[in-house]
Each structure stands twice: as C-alpha cells, then as structure tokens.
Amino acid sequence: MFNLEINGTTHEVDAEEDTPLLWVLRDTVGLKGTKFGCGVAACGACTVHVDGESVRSCSYPASDAVGSQITTIEGIGGDGLSPVQQAWIQEQVPQCGY
C-alpha cells in the first residue's frame, strides 16, 4: 500500500508496486480520462504528467510516482473546463488528443 498525489488529492493505493499507473488511475482511483491504447507506450493514449513531465502510464510503475504530483486530464480544469477539455468535447476526441 502506498500514497499517490493525483490532481492535488492524496489517494491511498492498495496495488502491487509494479502495477502500471494507468490501471491504478482507472481501476483503483476511478479516473477514466486516461485511456488504454496500445499497452506498449507507443500511442500516447495513456499519457499523464508526473511532476510536469509527460509519461506513458501504461508502462510506468505506479510506485515510481510516490512523492510526485500526478496530473491527469481531469486535473487540468480547476473550476470549470480548461480549453483542452473543451476542445476534447467539441472535437469528440476518442483517445489521447496528445
């Protein structure tokens, strides 16, 4: 068990240390904005920011993000939708939009 700081909120995560961050975000924390695409870090559908750097969460062990700030698409809006989120909705982005 370990803690992750996701979109400004601390989440206690009960997962194996080598569990990909993608599955912790989606299945444990319930944030569905980060998508599964290829599973080999090639397509970008699973991209999130860890301490401001883009990482492919499908191949990034969740435990490597302990002590870091994780930002998903859900975390960029603050109060209301950000321009990126608005564009995703307007253009009906099916996956990464990266």
β-strands 9-13, 53-56 pairing: unpaired
**Whole-angstrom distance, CA of residue 19 vs CA of residue 66:** 13
CATH code of the domain covering residue 69: 3.10.20.30
**Whole-angstrom distance, CA of residue 18 vs CA of residue 63:** 7
24 within a domain of the structure (yes/no): yes
Give me the helices (H) in 1-98, please.
Answer: 21-23, 83-91
Q: Record the pTM.
A: 0.84
pLDDT by residue for the chain (98 residues), tens digit each?
A: 999 999 999 999 999 999 999 999 999 999 998 989 889 999 888 999 999 999 999 999 999 999 999 999 888 877 788 887 788 788 887 665 55
Residues 6+ apart with CB under 8 A from 43: 37, 95, 96
| Residue whose tokens read 């559908």 | 45
97 within a domain of the structure (yes/no): no
* Type of residue numbered 10: T
55 within a domain of the structure (yes/no): yes
Write out the residue range of the structural domain in which residue 84 sits. Answer: 2-91
98 within a domain of the structure (yes/no): no
